[in-house]
Amino acid sequence: MDNPIPLSLPDITDLEIQAVVDVLRTNRLSLGPRQVAFEEAIRDFVGARYACALSSGTAALHLALLAAGVGPGDEVITSSFSFIASANCALYVGAKPVFADIDPATWNIDPDALEAAITPKTKAVIPVHVFGQPCRMDRIMAAAKKHSLAVVEDSCEAIGAAFGGRKAGTIGQSGTFAFYPNKQITTGEGGMLVTDDEKVASLARSLRNQGRAEKATWLAHERLGYNYRMCELQAALGEAQMKRISDILAKRARAAGWYTQRLAGFEKLRLQKIEPDVTMSWFVFVIRLADEFSQEHRDRLIAGLGQQGIGCNAYFTPIHLQTFYREQLGCRPGQLPVTEKVGERSLAIPFFSNISEGQVDRVCGAIRRIVDGF
């Protein structure tokens, strides 16, 4: 197919390339000044006191739960309409993930459903800021305070987003970010934990580095830890990306605006409702077929777009319907009706910083033609 349009592309310039080359000309490839500089850039951008660079957003979620004291016998409430790490991190610490249903318009966790899911075993909640839109953190924090629960924000898709003027990731006890190549900024692989709690930050730094104390010698370990370090090459790439983050976010917002203008009036589709008191950070652009259509129609749309060289993918397949969760936790269809309805009908379409308006026109035209043919 001539001129295919990919689902996503990283936004890499000569600035990032030179930053990585500069590291290769040094003798410091891990735990060096570029990691510190990247942490400081994230810390200052979101307005947190501390930032800890890690190997992935998944690692950040894992360490955030450990720092919150979550362990065997505890329950952690989160959304099933997310990437699987949002729930897996609870299993990593021996806890049980409990899923609350989502709001049918915003696709974020429903605060009422979250509060209804709280039991005496609940230790923490992980609100997921889906596709870059913050959850209703006012209501979630109120529920958490009422029941003495830790709040770990899964902001892996939401760097730069804000709720009520506060940046995503800085409202709960800790927040997590991810920098996979399809994210707003990338380090190839990588993540970040942010917090205002000095003890959480110190513990995270130890846990990421095989349990070493921050000032201990290389072979001195004071606790069970992990190899969750971010190397200097990744950090240099991330630091360079942070110098351009305002431009990157603006380009993504422009692309989202193009899609919204062309698709918002198409009665056979539903777009994510953006709440008035949030600042969106566009991670992906997801469309949902109207209720009159089925998962079969969604799959036909994906196939039809693929035949025209247009990248797309189902987004999200609910976590509780994944094979492992059905087998290990006894999850079943019908458990989360709103999540399942949205999951069956939604897909991500091409979205990246440098997508052109002409490419958006081509994607939207193809979507309309295929859906009108159903």
Collapsing DSSP to helix, strand or coil, 66 comes out as: helix
Summary mean pLDDT of the chain = 97
Report pLDDT for 283.
98
Mean pLDDT, rounded, for 231-245: 98
Nearest to 42 by CA among 283, 240, 204, 213: 240
Report the C-alpha gap between 22 and 121 in whole angstroms: 50
CA 181 to each of CA 12, 185, 186, 260: distance values in angstroms, whole numbers, following the listed order: 10, 7, 5, 24
Residue 215 pLDDT exceeds 80: no
Which band of pLDDT confidence, cut at 50, 70 and 90, is reported for residue 1? low
List domains and CATH numbers for the chain. Answer: 14-242 (3.40.640.10), 245-372 (3.90.1150.10)
Report the C-alpha gap between 205 and 20 in whole angstroms: 23
Strands 313-314 and 278-279: unpaired
Percent of the chain with pLDDT over 70: 100
Q: What tens digit of pLDDT does each residue of 295-334 get?
A: 999 999 999 999 999 999 999 999 999 999 999 999 999 9
Report pLDDT for 2.
76
Report the C-alpha gap between 298 and 150 in whole angstroms: 37
Question: For residue 294, which amino acid is it?
Answer: S
Report pLDDT for 223.
94
Spatial contact of 213 and 234, defined as CB atoms under 8 Å apart: no
Spatial contact of 264 and 365, defined as CB atoms under 8 Å apart: no
Spatial contact of 275 and 106, defined as CB atoms under 8 Å apart: yes
Q: What tens digit of pLDDT does each residue of 8-41 get?
A: 999 999 999 999 999 999 999 999 999 999 999 9
Which band of pLDDT confidence, cut at 50, 70 and 90, is reported for residue 214? confident
Report the C-alpha gap between 363 and 310 in whole angstroms: 7
Residues identified as active-site? 183
**Residue 373 exposed, middle or buried by CB count within 10 Å (0-12, 13-18, 19+):** exposed
Which band of pLDDT confidence, cut at 50, 70 and 90, is reported for residue 218? confident
DSSP calls for 234-292: HHHHHHHHHTTHHHHHHHHHHHHHHHHHHHTT-TTEEEPPPPTTEE---S-EEEEE-TT
Q: b or e along 21-32 (b: 16 or more beta carbons within 10 Å of the residue's beta carbon)?
A: eebeeeeeeebb
Q: What tens digit of pLDDT does each residue of 48-101 get?
A: 999 999 999 999 999 999 999 999 999 999 999 999 999 999 999 999 999 999
Which band of pLDDT confidence, cut at 50, 70 and 90, is reported for residue 216? confident
Sign of the torsion angle spanned by Cα atoms 277, 133, 38, 242: negative
Length of the chain: 374
DSSP state of 2: -
DSSP state of 310: B
Q: b or e along 287-303 (b: 16 or more beta carbons within 10 Å of the residue's beta carbon)?
A: bbbeeebeeebbebbbe
Q: What tens digit of pLDDT does each residue of 99-109 get?
A: 999 999 999 99
Residue 173 pLDDT exceeds 90: yes
Q: What tens digit of pLDDT does each residue of 250-292 get?
A: 999 999 999 999 999 999 999 999 999 999 999 999 999 999 9
- DSSP lists the bridge partners of residue 274 as none
